Structure 1
Amino acid sequence: MAVPKKRVSKSRSKARKAVWIRQAKQASQKSLSLAKSILKGKQTSFIYTENLGINFNKE
């Protein structure tokens, strides 16, 4: 089993965690923005087919 050779400082571990959290936050914001644009019908970066038998529009 792999074992670290030396102890990692708190500042380094917090920095790595901050990077991980920032990337997750950016991904969630991007996916939410894409979902909103699809619902409004103004998507430009996402191509999908509407003939899957699922109707998301409330008409």
Structure 2
Amino acid sequence: MAVPKKRTSISKKRIRKNFWKKKAFWTTLKALSLAKSVSTGNSKSFFIEQKKRIES
């Protein structure tokens, strides 16, 4: 027979939420850092094809 699950405590829910937020925060920091290094041309781990400018 099916039995309803026990309710998750608010503190446990908050801990899990904060863990997820922390993970997302570090991911966005890394992405921003990579974007900055690519835009300035200082990236050593990310290769981007540079277009040649045609001067007329």
Would the TM-score normalized by the shorter structure come out above 0.5? yes
TM-score (norm 2): 0.74
Q: Give the structure 2 partner of residue 9 of structure 1.
A: 9
Query: How many residues are paired up?
Result: 50
Gaps of 5+ in 2: none
Could you report, residue by residue, the CA deviation over 1:2-54 in whole angstroms, capped at 9, with x for unpaired residues? xx611101110000000110011111110000000001111122223335xxx
TM-score (norm 1): 0.71
Distance in 2, Cα, partners of 1:18 & 1:43: 31
Q: Give the structure 2 partner of residue 18 of structure 1.
A: 18
Q: Which runs of 4+ in 1 moved over 2 A?
A: 47-51
Distance in 2, Cα, partners of 1:27 & 1:40: 20
Gaps of 5+ in 1: none
Structure number with the bigger relative contact order (C-alpha 8 A, sep ≥ 6) is: 1
Query: Greater Rg, structure 1 or structure 2?
Result: 2
> What percent identity do the matched residue pairs reach?
41
Distance in 1, Cα, partners of 2:24 & 2:5: 29
